[in-house]
Each structure stands twice: as C-alpha cells, then as structure tokens.
Amino acid sequence: MWSQIAEDLRAKITDGTLPTDARLPSEAELTTQYGVARATVRQALTALVNEGLIVPKAPRGYFVRHRQPLFYRPQTEFRPQPKTPEMDRFMADHSAEGREPRQSIDVSIVAPPPEVRQRLKLKEGELAVVRRRVRYLDGEPYNTNDSYFPLSLVQDTEIMRPVDIARGANEVLAEQGQEQVRALDEIYVRMPTPDEVRRLDLGPGTPIACHICTGLTADGSPVRVVVNVLPGDRHVIVFEREGMDPASNDKA
Amino acid sequence: MWSQIAEDLRAKITDGTLPTDARLPSEAELTTQYGVARATVRQALTALVNEGLIVPKAPRGYFVRHRQPLFYRPQTEFRPQPKTPEMDRFMADHSAEGREPRQSIDVSIVAPPPEVRQRLKLKEGELAVVRRRVRYLDGEPYNTNDSYFPLSLVQDTEIMRPVDIARGANEVLAEQGQEQVRALDEIYVRMPTPDEVRRLDLGPGTPIACHICTGLTADGSPVRVVVNVLPGDRHVIVFEREGMDPASNDKA
C-alpha cells in the first residue's frame, strides 16, 4: 500500500501536478486521504526521499525537489533545432543545464540480439559492431544508447574505435555511400530487464521506455539500429508536429 | 523472483525476441537458467498465462500467443496515411485486424486537472469540456483518450454531445475559426494511478505511457489538450521520420 501511495505521488511530481518546490500534503493529510496508518504514509515518503524526488524541510513538511525530467527528442537527428516556439520553451524548461554531463563508450563485435538482427536484416550468425554508451548527469546514469551497424559496412571506419566521433557516425556512414534518408521509430513501454536495472542503477519498480530507431538508406536498406533505454523517472519524450490536417483520421 | 522472471519473458515477447507461436524454454530449462525452484518458474508462467501472453499446449510446453502489440501512431492526425514502406508494413503487422472495435464516449464539463489547465492556459476555475473515450478490442479495454477543450470555445458546438463526430472535433474547431496548425507531444512513462488501473482493467505491475498532445492555432493558442493512456503490454508507439541531416546533433 505504501508503494501505491508512493507511485501516486511520483506520478503527480513527474507530470507537474505537484510542481517543483511545491509542498506535499502533510503526513496527517495523506493519512486521511488514503485511509492508512501513519507509518504507511511515512514509508511512502521515505521511498520518495530516497529516489531524490522530495526533500524534507522541517518544520513545514516535504517539498518537491528541483528536478524536471530531462527532455528526449527523437527528432534531434533530422531536426537539430526546434521549429516551434512551444518546443523551444519545453527544451529550455527540461534541459540538463547546470548538470555535469559525461558518457562512457565501448565498442564490441557481436552476433546481435534477435530484435536487432531482424531490423538490420542480417542472417543468423552475421556480425555487427555495437557502440554502447551510457550517459550520465552529475554522476548519475540517465540513459543508454547502443548503436548497431553491420560489420561488413563499417569495419574499416572510425565507427570501430571507442571514442566519440565529432561529426557523428551517421556522417561516417554517408561517407561510405550509406546515407540514411529516413527512419522508423518504435517505443516499447515495459519493466526493465535485470541487465538494464544494473546498467542504469534503477530503483525498484521503475518502468522504462525502449526506443528502437532503424535508419534506412534511400533504397530501404537498414544500416543502423539504435536501442535507447530511458528510465521513466528521468525523461519525458517530446516531439513537435506541424501541418494539422482537419479532415483527419483522429476523431477527438 | 517469479515476478522478475515473468518480466524478463514478457519483455522478450513484446519486443519479438520470442515471436508469436514460439515455444518458451521448458520449465526445466528455465529452472536451470534462472537458478530458482521449479515452483518459482511455474508461478512466473502462470502469471503470463493469466495475462494472455502465453498458452500451455501439452505435452510440448508453453507457446507465445498470437498477439502483437497494437500500433499507436501519434502522427495520425497530420499524416492519416504512412509515407514510408517501413511504416506501412509495420502498421499491417501490428494492426487490430480481426478484432472487434468498440468505444465508449462521455462528455463532462469540468475544472480540468492542473496538468491540463496549465497546457490549455486556462485560469483557475475556468471550465473545460472533456470528451472521455475508452477504446476496446474484442471487449478488452485497450487505451483511453480524453480530449479537453476550453468551454468558452466549444459550448455551442457538437463537441458538447456524447456521440462520435464523423468529421472529427478538429474540424469542428476549425469551423469555429480555431484551426490547429501544430502540436506538441509529450510522453511520460510511469506506473498507472489507481483510477487508470480501474478504467483499463490493468494487471498488477503494468507500466503505461501517458501521451499528452497540445494542439495549437497559428498564433500559438492552445485549443485542445488530449491525454492518452496506453498500457505497455498492449501497444507499441511508432512513427516515421524523413530528411536525415548527416551533420546532426546525434553522434552515434
């Protein structure tokens, strides 16, 4: 039951119902609202303190910590800068400003997992190169980004080296005659695997978004599959759309 | 521990590692793989049977049920038809074909919740009209779609009536001089509130994606905010992108 209360408060913090610096209802108010023992309420609040979501400030109670989820823009590759003022403002409100970024990169040659092999259209046993990255802010893991490429396409390129590529791996692929002109993005929402929990140091019960991006050349050949794991307590996925067609499928 | 095993298998089913009709590893294999008691493995398998993800077929074991997650395309409003062959194929593979659709609609006048009021830029106490929909397939709730409009904009229109609007509420707004030309989409990944669990009949531990779409007119006024709740075990969010810029921000 404490877990349910914690989830309820967590949701309100993440979606802005309880905004930054807001004072949470008091222990007494929560005890009444949920109809539970005070110890249960305290357990929920302690969990949220441990997650870094709220801070106790005696004597007035608990307050929402200054932490917006980080924006995650799937459109970044095609659209480095936002086009609409709303997106511009959203990025400013949800940026990593003031937090020290860091990333780790390692490169392996692997027989890729099935969900990657199928999207890269490799045969069983065909090898891929994977550049695995963990992104940190203020020393805390935020998300992982694992980019897979067919080994045959990239084996004589910088993509094999475990260092950041200033101009980006997409440009390296283009130089090999493999320019990506479109992508398919899939987002799966689920609980993390034990491996993901470990890699991202996730608290118990933290759902994740798994964003799989398949980059394709003009003739429809997939040349890159990226798997991004985004903890739900740290991110908001955001994108902008233009050109609303009034006579559309989506009947509100 | 059984819950962890269930989650692991669930993830493999959802992302296609264990595709439709695939036979799961046997109880003995799973017992060895996870290093647990057979009863623990059985508990995990029973959970997945209860969720409708796998079916027992004696004597050979458990098989992945024929069920792909339903595709959910945030781009539908602006782009009723897919533009790329990959999206076309994805929609075909993840459609609701063969399943009987139904929806419920009810209309209320409300003081909207804070996360809606802020996005609609209403003052405290200003009223909104909400069209609440639950979508069903084969009698099972799939997702909810709640569309909020400022009451002042829509009070003399069909948007007030609890029936499907053939041409869509967006067209009704356009007829009022409030044509939406762009939108901002935010996706939050979290555990559901008790209210959402009830409304969507969710099994325990089912994470959700909360997709909030704000529709704006040319001068940047928000005229509609839609809150969609998508259980992670039933959906895959998918979109297509074109116009890859090789010299982009996203360094793979």
Confidence label for B67 from pLDDT (cuts 50, 70 and 90): low
List C-alpha distances in Å: B168 to B141, B143, B158, B178, B206.
22, 19, 10, 14, 31
User: Which residues contact residue B59 at a Cβ distance below 8 angstroms, ignoring those fewer than 6 apart?
Assistant: none
Report the residue from A87, A207, A248 with minimal CB separation from B170: A248
Q: How far apart are CA A86 and CA A238, in angstroms?
A: 11
> Across A90-94, A227-231, B22-26, B198-202, which has the greatest mean pLDDT?
A227-231
Query: Which one is predicted more confidently, A51 or B63?
Result: B63
Q: A118 contacts in B (CB within 8 Å)?
A: 16
ipTM, two decimals: 0.81
Q: What is the mean pLDDT of residues B86-115?
A: 92
Domains detected in chain B: 2-64 (1.10.10.10), 70-237 (3.40.1410.10)
The pLDDT value recorded for residue B60 is: 78
Q: B10 contacts in A (CB within 8 Å)?
A: 190-191
Q: How far apart are CA A54 and CA A69, in angstroms?
A: 14
Query: Which one is predicted more confidently, A73 or A204?
Result: A73
Query: A with B: how many residue pairs have Cβ under 8 Å apart?
Result: 272
CB contact at 8 A, A27 and A246? no
pLDDT at residue A252 greater than cutoff 70: no
Report the residue from A194, A210, A249 with minimal CB separation from B80: A249
User: Which residues contact residue B145 at a Cβ distance below 8 angstroms, ignoring those fewer than 6 apart?
Assistant: A252, B132, B133, B135, B226, B227, B228
Say yes or no for a CB contact (<8 Å) between A86 and B239: no
pLDDT at residue B252 greater than cutoff 80: no
Residue in chain B lying closest to A15 (CA)? B115
Say yes or no for a CB contact (<8 Å) between A76 and B248: yes
Q: Is the pTM of this model over 0.80?
A: yes
Beta strands in chain A (DSSP E): 54-57, 61-64, 70-72, 101-110, 128-137, 140-150, 180-190, 208-217, 222-231, 235-242
Say yes or no for a CB contact (<8 Å) between A244 and B169: no
pLDDT tens, residue by residue, B189-212: 988 887 899 999 987 778 999 999
Percent of chain A with pLDDT over 70: 94
Q: What is the mean pLDDT of residues B224-241?
A: 95
The pLDDT value recorded for residue A11 is: 82
| Shortest alpha-carbon distance between residue A59 and chain B (Å) | 27
Say yes or no for a CB contact (<8 Å) between A86 and B115: no
Pull the structure tokens for residue A33.
């609202």
| Shortest alpha-carbon distance between residue A111 and chain B (Å) | 14
Q: What is the mean pLDDT of residues A88-95?
A: 91
What's at A179, amino acid-wise? E
